[in-house]
Amino acid sequence: MPISRFFRPARLIFMLAAFAAVIGGFFLATTVFGGHSPSGAEYSRPKSSGPSTHFTMRPEDPGFVDFLTDFSDFPIYWVGDEINGLSLDYIARNVFSPEVGITTNTLTFFYGECVFREAPAEGGCSRPLTIVVEPYCLVPPEMIAPEAATAGMARVRDAADAMMAGGGLRIWTGSATIKIYASSLELIDDATAALVSVNGLGPSDTADALPAPDRDCSEYEMVPYPAQ
């Protein structure tokens, strides 16, 4: 069932939440995570391995394809070089593991041209489609605060778990989490249907099911969130 049909009662909430989500990490840290479970118990979160890093690459950059295909930290998914007339502009790699705060270990795909808001100096711009991929164990479903979810859990691509939260769709599949932020629910539908693994650690054909979540986080060093 398309996401836009399953979550149609949440359409207005999605539009409002999408605006809030692109403002920045504050919404993500305070609403999506919250730092506590509904029962009040503290969460544990894994620390990212390896040094902190941040860089961007464009499709025309030397080594771009090799970087994606050789990436082995976790499965990464994209929708190809283009979808619905929106071309892949660039990717961003972020790894950050502070002593206190939110652990980051992401690879992000930005599609389409940057669309400025009415006050670009204050709010920057957003892309029509952004896909963020990270390890499953960084933000498993139980870490999503109830107030951040605009609808319940759904099943997409046959086996993967999905939930509208934080202004976009979160998909938990295999050992990865895929977050899709788009200008419409229809674009989220199309992106979900077009997801394929680019590094060989997941399905490479859109006709294939996305694998069910692998909830084994034993390889991670778990720390209280927020870190104490």
Instruction: Report the pLDDT averaged over residues 191-216.
Output: 94
Residue with more model confidence, 179 or 140: 179
Long-range contacts of 64-68 (CB under 8 A, 24+ apart): 64/91, 68/198, 68/199
Give pLDDT, residue 152: 73
Residue with more model confidence, 92 or 147: 92
Give pLDDT, residue 38: 35
Res. 206: pLDDT tops 60:
yes
pLDDT band at 167 (very low <50, low <70, confident <90, very high): confident
Is residue 120 classed as helix, strand or coil in its secondary structure? helix
Which residues are 108's β-sheet partners? Answer: 92, 132
Residue with more model confidence, 8 or 79: 79
pTM > 0.85: yes or no? no
Q: pLDDT digits over 89-108, tens only?
A: 999 999 887 665 567 889 99
pLDDT band at 119 (very low <50, low <70, confident <90, very high): low
Give pLDDT, residue 93: 95
Task: In whole angstroms, give the CA distance from residue 27 to residue 109.
Answer: 20
